[in-house]
């Protein structure tokens, strides 16, 4: 006959083993629960990021009204860009369709001017350089005018400055067209006459738009001077310096290509 304490010890051992087994299963369930919760959090974060991405692409629709412009309205704004008026009489309705077409027209005129003058670029793409110059100048000068307005307490929306400066480039397109058709390379008097006839009034209108929100006369004069200087320096650069810089870059690229070819040829 077995002692009475033997049965009690066996039952206690079984209870401990069952309790240990139950404890392990609880830990495993806790780990699986944490993993499921972590996976759920990652799924929610990924879904939120995808939704934000689609919403950011959907924000492109915000620019759609600025390209939905009546052609008659664009024609009216092109004509008004040559007529300076008092800041209180100038009404600006910003759009990006007209300025974009003006910049593309300027690119085409630069290409025509380069080809009509007999300048041949051997390396690189002339169209890419012209597009980079025109669009870059449009954005850069508009940004500089916006910063000047901010510093001189004449805050203007960037889109208003971008649209106004884009329309003011119509005069530059006209000057580029007329100089490419009737301009003599030995006499620049015709260019300066066109500059004074078309670009100066357009630049003055741009300056009056920029200084519209300024209250101090000194700041107004400074803003008008900055706008006129930026406008006229751009057309002077496009007329005198664009082809020179382009030829120098072409020569630099050509020298690099020649050196590269010489290095690849084995010396006997």
pLDDT of residue 225: 93
Contact 96, 63 (CB under 8 A): yes
Distance CA 96, CA 66 (A): 5
Query: Which residues of the chain register pLDDT less than 50?
Result: 1-2, 5-7, 10, 16-24, 54, 57, 123, 255-268
pLDDT of residue 260: 37
Scanning the chain, the segments in alpha helix (DSSP H) are 4-58, 64-67, 71-80, 97-116, 126-151, 158-168, 170-182, 189-194, 200-210, 217-236, 242-264
DSSP string computed for 4-66 = HHHHHHHHHHHHHHHHHHHHHHHHHHHHHHHHHHHHHHHHHHHHHHHHHHHHHHHGGGGGHHH
Which residue do the tokens 């020569």 mark? 251
pLDDT of residue 155: 82
Instruction: Report helix angle 126-151 to 158-168, nearest 10.
Output: 130
pTM: 0.68
pLDDT of residue 251: 63
Contact 239, 114 (CB under 8 A): no
């Amino acid at each position: 006959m077995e002692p009475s304490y033997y049965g009690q010890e066996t039952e206690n051992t079984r209870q401990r083993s069952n309790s240990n087994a139950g404890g392990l299963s609880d830990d495993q369930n806790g780990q699986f629960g944490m993993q499921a919760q972590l996976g759920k959090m990652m799924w929610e974060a990924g879904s939120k990021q995808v939704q934000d991405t689609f919403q950011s692409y959907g924000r492109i629709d915000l620019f759609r009204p600025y390209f939905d412009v009546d052609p008659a309205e664009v024609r009216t704004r092109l004509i008004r860009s040559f007529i300076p008026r008092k800041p209180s009489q100038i009404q600006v309705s910003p759009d990006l369709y007209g300025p974009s077409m003006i910049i593309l027209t300027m690119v085409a005129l630069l290409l025509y001017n380069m080809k009509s003058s007999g300048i041949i670029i051997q390396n690189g793409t002339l169209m890419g350089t012209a597009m980079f110059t025109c669009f870059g100048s449009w954005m850069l000068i508009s940004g500089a005018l916006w910063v000047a307005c901010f510093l001189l307490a004449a805050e203007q929306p960037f889109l208003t400055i971008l649209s106004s400066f884009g329309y003011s480039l119509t005069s530059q397109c006209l000057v580029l067209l007329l100089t490419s058709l009737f301009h003599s390379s030995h006499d620049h008097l015709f260019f300066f006459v066109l500059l004074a006839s078309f670009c100066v009034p357009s630049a003055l209108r741009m300056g009056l738009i920029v200084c519209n929100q300024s209250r101090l006369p000194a700041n107004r004069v400074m803003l008008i001077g900055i706008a006129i200087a930026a406008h006229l320096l751009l057309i002077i650069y496009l007329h005198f310096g664009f082809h020179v810089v382009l030829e120098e870059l072409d020569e630099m690229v050509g020298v690099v290509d020649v050196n590269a070819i010489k290095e690849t040829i084995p010396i006997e």
